[in-house]
Chain A
Amino acid sequence: AQSVTQLGSHVSVSEGALVLLRCNYSSSVPPYLFWYVQYPNQGLQLLLKYTTGATLVKGINGFEAEFKKSETSFHLTKPSAHMSDAAEYFCAVLNTNAGKSTFGDGTTLTVKP
């Protein structure tokens, strides 16, 4: 079985401040991990992914995430928030054996001017 826990359903930051969205996972096999972003009335879009190799992965729009196996975490960060970053963010874990993805419940990011 696998699961994803996103700590904090709502995160609010000021424009220009650090963004930190937390994701912890459980998986019985080495996981592939993904972060997706969802804007209102749209589908999910891939931000970044970790499969193997370098544990710090960079994605679009200045986001990056670090895979920490010992902490079973894959937190998403961005050094400086922009108003356009306001959206809902989903962390997902893929079981490569079963081909099945499990999504967290999402974190809504609000960016204050």
Chain B
Amino acid sequence: EAGVVQSPRYKIIEKKQPVAFWCNPISGHNTLYWYRQNLGQGPELLIRYENEEAVDDSQLPKDRFSAERLKGVDSTLKIQPAELGDSAVYLCASSLVSGSQDPQYFGPGTRLLVL
């Protein structure tokens, strides 16, 4: 069974440029998460989807970040415009159901460097 797929794996952009990340979760997983992981820290939730619905986006900086999950499968996370402080690893994860004992399965992440 394929795991969570993310692309690109690495991205280098200049500040003020836009950037987008893509995630394909494990087949059948209803819940999809986007996390940001800063160096030396644990993942911090940006947004959580239950199927197509964003059920928790309280930590998403909505002035520059946006996300969508069309058809309740793949998801994209966009930053426009990027700032130096956005340099981090962006992790996508999925699970069967949130709030249950089902663990989250993580993708390898997209490492973003903003110059």
Residues of A within 8 A of B (CB): 4, 9, 32, 34, 36, 41-46, 49, 51, 90, 92, 94-101, 103-106
Consensus secondary structure, chain A interface: strand
What number of A-B contacts does a CB cutoff of 8 Å give? Answer: 60
Consensus secondary structure, chain B interface: loop
A106-B106 CB under 8 A given contacts A99-B55, A99-B56, A99-B98: no
Task: Tell me if A34 and B48 are in contact (CB < 8 A).
Answer: no
Residues of B within 8 A of A (CB): 4, 31, 40-45, 48, 55-56, 91, 93, 98-101, 103-109, 111
Residues of A within 8 A of B41 (CB): 105-106
Task: Tell me if A90 and B108 are in contact (CB < 8 A).
Answer: no
> Most chain-B Cβ atoms within 10 A of its Cβ — which of A44, A51, A90, A105?
A44
Residues of A within 8 A of B40 (CB): 9, 105-106
> Most chain-A Cβ atoms within 10 A of its Cβ — which of B44, B56, B106?
B106
